[in-house]
Structure 1
Amino acid sequence: MSLIKNRYGKGRVRVMRIHRDGEQQEVSQLSIRAMLEGDFAPTFTHADNRMTVSTDTIKNIVNIVARENTGLCAEEFCQVLARKYLDTYQQISSVAITSHETKWTRLSFDGKPHPHSFVLDANGRPTVEVTMTRTGGPALASGIDGFAFMKSTQSGWENYVKDRYTTIPETADRICATSMVASWAWSAKPESYPAANSHILDTLLKVFSTTYSKSVQDSLYRMGEAALAAVPEISEISMACPNMHFIPMNLSPFGLDNNNDVFLPTDEPHGQIECTVGRR
C-alpha cells in the first residue's frame, strides 16, 4: 500500500478586521480555509510528526497576518497569507487558501456615509401578521426578521453586576452587532405601508448608528421611542436582538498588540435582548 496524495490544514478560521483611517473605519469579515501540501507523508505513514505544523498554528498565522494587514482586500490578504506559510515553513510545497467574505455595507444618513455603521448584504425578510375575526377588525403587524446591523465603535458595557462568576471585562469601545427580529403593531392605516415600514427601519438604524450605546438594552429602548415618534400610526414596537459577538483575539503570545483590530466572529452562545416599547 502507498500514500498517493495528502494535504491538511484548518477550516472555518473566522476573522474580523477593522481598518481605521481617522474617523473612517472599514470592516472585513472572512472565513478562511488554509490547506497545506508538502513533506508531511511520514505523519500519515510512520506516525512521525516532526515536519508537521499544528493546525492550531495554521489558525494563529491567519490572525497574525490579519493584524499586520488590516486594510487589504480579500484577494490581497489571501495572497499575503499564502506567502507567509511558504516563507515560514520550508517543508510546505504548496498552499491553497479559500476565503468566503461576509459583506457589510456602509450606512448613509442624509446623503452622508456613516464612518462606522453597517448593515449586512442581502439583509432581512419583511414580515406581516394579520389576526381577523368575524366580529372584529383585523389586528395587523408588520416587521422584519433577521435584519443584521453593526457598528465598529461607539458602544460599551460598563457598571454591571460583578461577582465571583463574572469574567467579562468592562469596555467603553466594542463592536456592537445584532440580527434583529422586530415587529410593530398598526393602530391606524398609514398613507403607504411600504413607505412607513421603510421610515421605521431607517429611524431605528439612525438612532443605533449615531448615538453612543451604553448597552444593547439602552439602544433598543431609544430606538423604539424614536420609531413611535416617527410613525404615529403604530401603537407599539417589539424588538428581539441576539448579539453577534466579535471577540478580540489575544495576539500577545506573538509579540503583537491588538488595538481592537482583529476579532473572532461568533454567534453561539449569544446574549438575547428583547423589549417592547409602546405608547401606553
Structure 2
Amino acid sequence: MAIVLGDNRYGKAGVRLVRVDRGEAWHRITDLTVDVALSGELTAVHLSGDNAHVLPTDTQKNTVYAFAADGVGEVEEFGLRLARHFVATQPAIGRAVVTLAEYEWDRIEGADGPAPHSFSRSGRYTRTARVVHDAAAGTEVVSGLRGLTVLNTTDSEFVGYAVDRYTTLPETKDRILATDIDARWRHRGTDGDWAASFAAVRRALLAAFAGTYSRSLQQTLYAMGRQVLAERDELVEVRLSLPNRHHYLVDLAPFGRDNPNAVFLAGDRPYGLVEGTVRRDDAPAALVEL
C-alpha cells in the first residue's frame, strides 16, 4: 500500500490591515483581516523540505500591505487583485484563495454633526469575501456577511415535530425567532458593482426574514435564500448558517404573576443550528464549496 501526499495548501492567515483615506475634510477608514492560501506544485517541500517553490508567508503579508498602499476599494476588488497577483507571479502556484473580513466603523456624532475623522466600531455585522483564482479552472467570487443579529417577536411557531421518549419540548404557536445570520453568496462573474450588490442582498435577507411567517427555521432559511436569488441575477448560490437563539418563556407562577408571552430568558447555549444552500438549478460548479 502506497502512502502519498494529499490535498495541501499554505499561506498567511490573520493579516490585520487598516487603511485611512484622508480627504481634505473627511477621512474614511477600512479595517480588514486578510487570509491567503496558496496551492500548486508543492510536493517537494513536503517530502524533502525543498523550499524552491515556497513563497514565504511573510512575503504574502507584505504583499497585502503593499497592495493596500494603492487603495483597497471594495473587499472583492482587493481580493481579486491579490489572488491574481500570486498566481501570475509564482510559476509553481496554480491556485490562490484570498479570504477577507471587513469590520464596520460608524462616524461619531459630534455637537455639530458627524465627526470628519472620529469613529466607533459598530459591531452590527462583519462583511466578508472570498476570491479563488485558479490558473486552470478560472476565478470565483463569494461575498457574504456574518453576525447580523435579527429577531421576530411573533409570526413564528414550532409544532408537529417528531417525538420520542426523550422529547420534553412543548409545542408553541407563538414564539420569538432570533438568529445571527451567517450568509455567503456566489457571483456569476468577477466584475460588477460590489457595494450595490452587497447592500441589495442584505436588504433581501432582512426583508425575507421579516416577511416570512415561520413554521420552522429551515423554512425561513429557504425563504431568505430564494428572495436573494429572485432579486439578484448576478448571483447563482446562497449558503446560510442560522443558529437558533432560543428565548424561553419564564415561569412566573411561583411569584403569583402571569407571563402573557412577555418575559423571556435569552438562552446562550446549547442552541439549534440550521444550515443550507439555495441555488439555481443551472448554476456552474463551484471552485470551492460555499
**Alignment correspondent of 1:215:** 216
Once the two structures are superposed, residues 183-221 of structure 1 have per-residue CA deviations (whole angstroms, 9 ceiling, x without a partner) of: 000113564111111111111111111221011000110
Q: Does 1:259 align with 2:260?
A: yes
The whole-number CA distance in structure 2 between the counterparts of 1:166 and 1:142 is 39
Name the residue aligned to 2:237: 236
Q: Secondary structure at the match of 1:124?
A: strand
Distance in 2, matches of 1:275 and 1:221, equals: 8
Distance in 2 between residues matched to 1:164 and 1:257, nearest whole Å:
30
Conserved 8 A contact 2:154-2:177 = yes
Measured in 1, the distance between the counterparts of 2:165 and 2:137 equals 54
Counterpart of 1:144?
145
Query: Kindly tell me: are residues 130 and 265 of structure 1, through their superposed partners in 2, closer, same or farther at Cα, counting changes over 3 Å?
Result: same
1:185 corresponds to which residue?
186
Check the 8 A contact 1:190/1:233 in 2, yes or no: no
Task: Tell me which residue corresponds to 2:154.
Answer: 153
Query: Following TM superposition, by how much is the alpha carbon of 1:275 offset from its aligned partner in structure 2, in angstroms?
Result: 0.4
Listed as ranges, the gaps of 5+ residues in structure 2 are 1-121, 282-290
Distance in structure 2 (CA, Å) of the matches to 1:274 and 1:211: 17
Distance across 1 between alignment mates of 2:199 and 2:246: 27
Aligned-pair Cα RMSD in Å: 1.3
Measured in 2, the distance between the counterparts of 1:190 and 1:203 equals: 21
Distance 1:189 1:199 in 2: 17
CA contact (8 A) 1:189 1:233 kept: no
1:125 Cα offset (Å): 0.3
CA distance in 1, matches of 2:157, 2:230: 26
Q: Aligned with 1:264: secondary structure?
A: strand
**1:166 match:** 167
TM-score, normalization: structure 1? 0.55
Q: Distance in 2 between matches of 1:190 and 1:234?
A: 12
CA distance in 1, matches of 2:272, 2:125: 20
The question of whether the paired residues in 1 share the 8 Å contact of 2:140 and 2:189 is answered with no
State the structure with bigger RCO (CA 8 A, min sep 6), 1 or 2.
1
Amino acid at match of 1:138: T
What CA deviation, in whole Å up to 9, does each residue of 1:85-113 have, x standing for no partner?
xxxxxxxxxxxxxxxxxxxxxxxxxxxxx
Structure 1 unaligned residues grouped into runs of 5+: 1-120
Distance 1:203 1:219, change over 3 A: same
- Count of equivalent residues: 160
Q: Which residue of 2 aligns with 1:250?
A: 251
The aligned amino acid for 1:252 is A
